[in-house]
Structure 1
Amino acid sequence: MMLKKRKLGRKIEEIKEGEKLTLTEKMEDKDLLLYLGLTNDANPLYIQHDYASQTTYKKPLVPSIMLIGMVTSAVSKYLPGPGSHILSHHIELPNPVYHYETIKFLFIVKEVRQQENEVVIEIVGENEEGSCVLEGLITVCPPSLLNGMDDDTF
């Protein structure tokens, strides 16, 4: 049930190659616990300090899918915004992310395909030391409305 009207994100015509978005996210315990509870993921590498200390990582890691979730959330909220849909993604995670780290995400519009109603966005995530922890490309379908529909319909 929708209780209030939501503004849609930007249409393909409003997006330009070279646009950038920067977001910063801190890896907090509450977020990790919510993810682990929702997914029922009990991987000791994510939550057990004693186990993680015996691995090559030395400390518990943030689940990779949480980082990817932050990327998809940024698409839904900001670029292009509400009403968008990710069509494909290729993401690499070259370095681990640890609890309490702050990650800076940079999103750059690389290509606007108006005919296909698709936008290709490059993503780079770096930790406080400047190490790359996430990089990749996503193809997104920005919001598009059928004739006769507009923001007021929602």
Structure 2
Amino acid sequence: MLNGARTKIGKKIDEIAVGERIHLVETIEDKDLLIYLGLTNDNNPLYIQHEYAKDTFFKKPIVPTIMLNGIVTSAISKHLPGPGSHIREQNIIYLEPVYHYETIEFLLEVQHIDYENNIVSIQVDAMNKSHQQVLHGILKVLPPI
């Protein structure tokens, strides 16, 4: 508890249904990249240096995949199942690069519920504005008890 207020708890396993989904739209801004780079001390020039990136396969700076992963894990922590949930396992494939200032649509959907082990399998897919799929994955999540 914080200041006597009860902390919000996410959905328990019996409050979740197969097919339940959330849809998010995120735009990756320079400020987000700079915060990530500052926090992690990741100095890969592919993420921020335009001159360097133009000579690579990507032709311009890309968003670190861990930032996309962060959007996904944040959606699980905030929304589905929500506060108190914990990711136990994840398998995410990054299919296409995401570039600075791109707007990405994320769809997370409950695929399976294992009541015995208190695990929810959530599929995630993300698309860019050109309708290219940029990531696909499955996460196994422990909802709050």
- TM exceeding 0.5: yes
Displacement of 1:6: 1.6
Paired with 2:79 and 2:137, the residues of 1 have a C-alpha distance of 18
Displacement of 1:84: 0.2
Q: Which AA in structure 2 matches 1:136?
A: G
Q: Aligned with 1:55: secondary structure? A: coil
Q: Which AA in structure 1 matches 2:49?
A: Q
Q: Aligned with 2:56: secondary structure? A: coil
Equivalent position of 1:9 in the other structure: 10
Equivalent position of 1:122 in the other structure: 123
Q: Aligned with 1:37: secondary structure? A: helix
Paired with 1:25 and 1:141, the residues of 2 have a C-alpha distance of 25
List gaps (5 residues or longer) in structure 1: 145-154
Q: Aligned with 1:5: secondary structure? A: coil
Equivalent position of 2:64 in the other structure: 63
List gaps (5 residues or longer) in structure 2: none
The TM-score, its normalising length taken from structure 2, stands at 0.97
Q: Which AA in structure 1 matches 2:54?
A: S
Equivalent position of 1:151 in the other structure: none
Work out the percentage of aligned pairs sharing the same amino acid: 55
Per-residue CA deviation, residues 23-71 of structure 1 (Å, 9 max, x unaligned), is 0110011111000000000100001000001111011000000000110
Equivalent position of 1:99 in the other structure: 100
Q: Which AA in structure 1 matches 2:26?
A: E
Paired with 1:139 and 1:82, the residues of 2 have a C-alpha distance of 15
Per-residue CA deviation, residues 89-125 of structure 1 (Å, 9 max, x unaligned), is 0000010000000000001100011111110000001
Equivalent position of 1:25 in the other structure: 26
Equivalent position of 1:39 in the other structure: 40
Q: Aligned with 1:143: secondary structure? A: coil
Paired with 1:138 and 1:15, the residues of 2 have a C-alpha distance of 15
Paired with 1:65 and 1:130, the residues of 2 have a C-alpha distance of 21
Paired with 1:79 and 1:30, the residues of 2 have a C-alpha distance of 26
Displacement of 1:2: 3.6
The TM-score, its normalising length taken from structure 1, stands at 0.91
